[in-house]
Structure 1
Amino acid sequence: MGQYSGVLYIPPQARASLQVADEEDHVLFSLMEKVLLFLDSDREVFLILGDSGAGKSTFNRHLECALWKAYRKGGPIPLYINLPSIDKPEHDMIIKQLQIHNFTADQIRELKEHRHLILICDGYDESHLTTNLHSKNLLNKPGQWRAKIIISCRTQHLGPDYRGRFQPNVDRYITRPKELFQEAVIASFSSTQIQEYVEQYVINEKPAWTPVIYMDKLRRIPHLMDLVSNPFLLSLALEALPNLVGSQDDLESITITRVKLYDNFVDKWLSVGKDRLETSSLGPGGREAFEKLLDSCFEQQAINFAKRLATAIFSKQDGRPVVQYPDPVDGQEWKAEFFGPGSEATHLRMSIPLVRNGKQHRFNHRSLLEYFYSRVFFEPPRPDSDNLDSSEESCVSYQSAVILDHSLNQLSIINEYAVLAFLVERVNAYQAFRDQLNAMVELSKEVPSVSLAAANAMTILVKAGIRFNGKDLQGIRIPGANLSEGEFDLAVFQGADLCNVNLTRAWLRQADFKKAHMAGVQFGESPYLAERSGVWSCAYSPDGKKFATGCSSGDISIYSTRTWKKVYALQKSTESPTTCIRPW
């Protein structure tokens, strides 16, 4: 494997990303092994996909460390780039990153002219990018940066045609263009890996439970082993289990969801933060501000602070998680509320799960940002509440004025899939929240100004698996809602506003759409046939029962139009494109 041969050590905490599923034969490989093979190949872009918490960022950091340890003078230089921390990384991201490290213009010029880089780009999805970093940064073009690029991204962020965002541009007239793109998907933890992680956790953290006790609880609580196949959720579960389980023996009756793990984590984090402030040497002003927070329920004030910050990040920064402060010339005064010098803001900021790096602030994990944002739309009742199925926002009060002022009628979360996932679990846990969402949809029939709330609500209900078969949905106004995979057989949508609604893979047998407004409705992708090279020509047989494609490789494929399965494959002896197929 050239200069990258040999074994690179990956510590136990990075094992989350040691295995990837090969996209063709579904065999598990070492991710490090795949990356090193990529670095020794002619390929230029390697895409690492995985769910939130799968270990992408951890792997990227350890890859950077391993490459520096294996570095030899004159070899490629690894450069880690946290994409959300850079303004517009689609333009000059290498220069911007080097400037962060205080490189001079002369040093940057020398690197560009004489050195080859390995770019490790973390958080493509967190930057809300849709552009091709390789192409926009002109990598490997004459006179430009020479570099290979490794990009990590959450799988949920990408649509079906995502490869164009990452594949290097090649001359479409080249008969067989060099394959410059590679990808891998991080696999979930296996039961063996879960046990190894638990054993290492017990060694490092020294909790009261032994590995045997932890594994017994994980295996006996329904569906928990599936949940903790995600490394980040496993880390939350190991912290939460002693508190959530206690001395209960009937583990089969316990329900532990993802959002419950986050609730427990946040409660413990805030409790530790409050205790730390109580024992700290605070000045007179700081002690007075702390006492004031205690009088108004410190934990709830901290949660409200985190919710406001999460809302600001989504509304002011389009969800980009890194906040730069101080920056007196950017005119964004909203940052002062959270990062200014005031004692109350300082106490709250230090008590919520935030991390600071110089002028940059962000939540400890992207999913925590999304978790707090989800609590903007539904605040679960506190454990000491008399009625655990009610809360300030979920109380049974569905008047028009209440829904008009509701956060779901102010902000769209239709495309915030991770936020929706938290709210889906709230719907399944709290009937009052489900009732309120249904009331929003119903009210939209009479009050057009609640259409945003109704679209958000309908999206959440569908994602929660609520069925609408045979339901009377006449006149509902839910423009832009995502109803993909929803069940609407025999539903009545007469006169409904369904403009730009996503109905991909929805069940719509005998649904009534008379006089419904359906401009821009999406029913899913058009049928397609997958070929291994570009299609240059095609033709139907005279009887319409066969369909042929001629490819740039010279191959010809023939399909049955009844099943659209390939029935013949003809390979030409030459590699010239098949540019014409005549009906036979």
Structure 2
Amino acid sequence: MDLVKNPFLLRLCLEALPQVVQDRSNLWRLHVTRVELYDAFVQHWLGVNKRRLQDLKLSGDKFLALDELLEDGFEQNGMRFQQDLAAAIFREQQGRPVVEYIHKRDRSSWKAAFFSPDPEITLLRDASLLNRVGTQYRFAHRSILEYFYSCTIYMLSRSDREFAPRPRADSSKNDHHPLSQGNLVAESSIIQFLVERVQLDPGFKQQLLAFIEQSKTDERASCAAANAITILVKAGVLFHGADLRGIRVPGADLSGGQFDSAQLQEAELTGVNLTGSWIRQADFSKARMEEVTFGELPYLEEVEGSFSIAYSVDGNFLAVGLEGGNINIYNTTNWTRTQTLEGHSDRVIGIAYSPSGEQLLSGSWDRTVRLWSCKTGSAGIILERHTSWATAVAFSPLGSQVALASYDKTVRIWDPRTGDILFVLPGHTDWVYSIAYSPDGRSLVSGSKDGKVRILDTYTGRMDLVLHKTAPVRSVAYSPD
């Protein structure tokens, strides 16, 4: 709970909690929603401040203003004042919480309705959950601003159910509705407040469904409809088999939604998030689905086949070995290509980064192995002693050795600093498919088409163990420990 982080607000929440639990007999199973707690907290705050103002010896215009507010309903006016301020902050400042007001400069602006020296405005402002530092005002907590903005949306429904659009009706009066002012997907706290309203008030659910229905015939309702269906999905409303043909909900967050067998023909779904949604047998015929997200990870598209890939040690780069012999290097932050390493004349079948990240090892069907500088992109050492295609490459954990497997039935271990051969692993009678170093670098394991797994001591070059299998061994790996 956000308020718990602020001791002052926590004290008031504890004072308001009895109002939430009153008349509830089974406290053992009591579930208090966030919005219920905020409702009680705000009402308690306004009640306390009403009594405080009544106890003051006000005179003149302030006395008359307070008398009028009391007669009209002080708490209701206080709620409306803060809701209107929250709505103005989102409308005029895109939700930036701090409002600066200098009367001489701003008395003709929207800010004057909340911060001018008018007696009634002054009383409502003083009774509100606002903090002031010099000429700057802000709500006592970001969540208070979000709560009041969510109330602006909800109270329009509760106080006047006529605001909800009906199919083929003129919805021009809804153009200025808060749900129509912008996409709320990024405002998770506001969405959550409204989700709880849906769960507590079935009438609010119907109003949101009406916005979605209206969007079928009125493009102006698309923003409100996108927000509405986002709220309903987060509230757990099921849309299995629903008639959603032609709805306009661009940018909606439908992740985790239930849309099995839903009819979404010709729907406007541009930019919609469908990650984790149930959409079995849903009909998307002729729907607009540009930039729809299904939860897939980023992908790279090459113009030719890719035969090997490797991440750098820090994960900042990805190397892709291609059929034509080139190696493309991508920045994993934005997936832009930063380098193309050229030198191999046939497919690159294996690549590996050095532990330091400064070098890249590659083996190719052109019977060469190259050791590239990651900084310059140049091949410092070219190893050409294999008599057949390379099949796999590996750096030792300390970077002091490189191992190269080949179709020539051998595994060679090289010194990457000099290019000298340190050991040749004999014994395989067919292609060597895969190699891997142990985490401590003391052993190298190889798997071959001949059905044997051989383990070499990389310090002495001696064979430690030979395992016999009944089928070709295409891959080998050590566990991290």
Q: Does the pair score TM above 0.5?
A: yes
Q: For the structure 1 residues 259 and 247, does the alpha-carbon distance in structure 2 shift closer, same or farther, using more than 3 Å as the test? A: closer
Corresponding residue number in structure 1 for 2:126: 350
Alpha-carbon contact 2:353-2:395 (below 8 Å) kept:
no
Give 1:535 deviation, angstroms. Answer: 2.9
The corresponding residue for 2:475 is none
1:535 aligns with 2:317: yes
What letter corresponds to residue 479 of structure 1 in structure 2?
P
Relative distance call for 1:515 and 1:295 in structure 2 (3 A) is same
Instruction: Provide TM-score, normalisation by structure 2.
Output: 0.61
Structure 1 residues 402 and 278, CA, compared in 2 at 3 Å: closer, same or farther? farther
Instruction: Return the alpha-carbon distance in structure 2 between the equivalents of residues 340 and 396 of structure 1.
Output: 31
Superposed displacement of residue 455, structure 1: 0.9
Aligned 8 A contact 2:87 2:178 in 1: no
Identity over aligned pairs, percent? 42
Q: Is residue 2:43 matched to residue 1:300?
A: no
Counterpart among 493, 498, 510 of residue 264 in structure 2: 493
* Distance in 2, Cα, partners of 1:556 & 1:394: 66
Match of 1:320 among 96, 102, 126: 96
Contact residue 223 and residue 250 of structure 2 kept, 8 A: yes
Residue number in structure 1 paired with 2:353 = 550
Residue 160 of structure 1 is matched in structure 2 by none
C-alpha separation in 2, matches of 1:264 and 1:447: 38
Local SS of the residue matching 2:273: coil
Tell me if the contact between 1:236 and 1:261 (Cα under 8 Å) persists in the aligned partners.
Answer: no
- Cα offsets for 1:291-329 (capped at 9, x unmatched): 111222111111111011111111211211111121645
Amino acid at match of 2:124: L
* 1:409 positional shift: 2.7
Q: Determine the structure 2 residue equivalent to 1:454.
A: 225
State the match for 1:262 in structure 2: 38
| Structure (1 or 2) with the greater strand fraction | 2
Unaligned residue ranges in structure 1 (runs of 5+): 1-50, 59-200, 206-231, 381-389, 558-567
Q: Superposed, which structure 2 residues align to 1:222-301 within 5 Å?
A: 237-246=13-22, 249-301=25-77
Match of residue 305 from structure 2: none
Q: Deviations over 1:384-420 (max 9, x none)?
A: xxxxxx8314469643346842432344323211111
The Cα shift of 1:572 comes to: 4.6
Residues 392/556 of structure 1: CA separation in 2 closer, same or farther (3 Å cut): same
Alignment of 1:488-527 (within 5 A): 488-526=259-297
Alignment partners' CA distance in 2, 1:344 and 1:273: 14
Q: Is residue 538–residue 550 contact of structure 1 (8 Å, CA) maintained in 2?
A: no
Once the two structures are TM-superposed, the CA of residue 378 in structure 1 deviates from its matched residue by 0.2
Change (3 A) 1:301 1:498: same
SS for the counterpart of 1:520 is coil
Aligned residue pair count? 335
Greater relative contact order, per chain length (Cα 8 Å cut-off, separation 6+): 1
Report if aligned partners of 2:158, 2:204 keep a CA contact under 8 Å in 1: no
Q: Which amino acid aligns with 1:573?
A: G
Whole-angstrom distance in 2 between the partners of 1:538 and 1:354: 56
Structure 2: 5+ residue runs without aligned partners?
A: 300-309, 324-346, 362-393, 403-415, 417-432, 435-481
Q: Report the counterpart of residue 371 of structure 1 in structure 2.
A: 147
3-state SS, counterpart of residue 391 of structure 1: helix
Partners of 2:259 and 2:352 in 1: CA distance = 37
3-state DSSP of counterpart to 2:236: coil
**Distance in 2, Cα, partners of 1:574 & 1:452:** 60
Cα deviation digits, residues 559-579 of structure 1 (max 9, x gap): xxxxxxxxx985252599x9x
The aligned counterpart of 2:210 is: 439
8 Å CA contact 1:536–1:552 kept in 2: the answer is: no
Q: Matches of 1:305 and 1:344 in 2, distance apart?
A: 11
CA distance in 1, matches of 2:279, 2:105: 53
SS class of match (1:287) = helix
Secondary structure of 1:378's aligned partner: helix
Partners of 1:548 and 1:54 in 2: CA distance: 52
1:517-549 alpha-carbon deviations (Å, 9 max, x no partner): 1223222352589864133523489xx9x9865
8 Å CA contact 1:403–1:453 kept in 2: the answer is no
Q: How does 1:116-265 map onto structure 2 within 5 Å? A: 237-246=13-22, 249-265=25-41
C-alpha distance in 2 between matches for 1:570 and 1:470: 57
In structure 1, the partner of 2:307 is: none
Could you state the TM-score of these two structures normalised by the residue count of structure 1?
A: 0.51
Task: Tell me the distance in 2 between the aligned counterparts of 1:551 and 1:493.
Answer: 51
**Contact 1:403–1:440 at 8 Å: present in 2 too?**
no
The separation in 2 between residues aligned to 1:247 and 1:454, in whole angstroms, is 37
Q: Secondary structure at the match of 1:333?
A: coil
What is aligned with 2:445? none
Shift of 1:349: 0.3
Relative to structure 1, is the Cα distance of residues 457 and 247 closer, same or farther in structure 2, using a 3 angstrom cutoff?
Answer: closer
Contact 2:164 2:211 (C-alpha < 8 Å) held by counterparts: no
Partner secondary structure for residue 158 of structure 2: coil
- Tell me if structure 2 keeps the 8 A contact 1:443–1:450: yes
CA distance in 1, matches of 2:352, 2:242: 45
Question: Structure 1 residues 447 and 327, CA, compared in 2 at 3 Å: closer, same or farther?
Answer: same
Whole-Å separation in 1 of the counterparts to 2:260 and 2:121: 51
Instruction: Report if aligned partners of 2:219, 2:248 keep a CA contact under 8 Å in 1.
Output: yes
Counterpart position of 1:571 = 397
Cα 1:297–1:548, aligned 2, differ >3 Å: closer, same or farther?
farther
CA contact (8 A) 1:475 1:497 kept: yes
Q: SS of the residue aligned with 1:334?
A: coil
Superposed CA deviations along residues 168-204 of structure 1, whole A, max 9, x for unmatched, are: xxxxxxxxxxxxxxxxxxxxxxxxxxxxxxxxx9xxx
Asked if the contact 2:185/2:227 (under 8 Å) is kept, the reply is yes
Alpha-carbon displacement from aligned partner over 1:230-261 (angstroms, at most 9, x marks no partner): xx7x6565333323234755213533111111
On the 8 A contact 1:395/1:432 being kept in 2, the answer is no
- The alignment yields a C-alpha RMSD, in angstroms, of 3.6
Give yes or no for contact 1:236–1:262 (8 Å, CA) kept in 2. no
Are the aligned partners of 1:378 and 1:394 in contact in 2 as well (CA < 8 Å)? no
Q: Which residue, out of 249, 252, 256, partners 1:478?
A: 249
Distance 1:258 1:547 in 2: 55
Q: What is the identity, as a one-letter code, of the residue corresponding to 2:238?
A: R
Distance 1:427 1:551, change over 3 A: farther
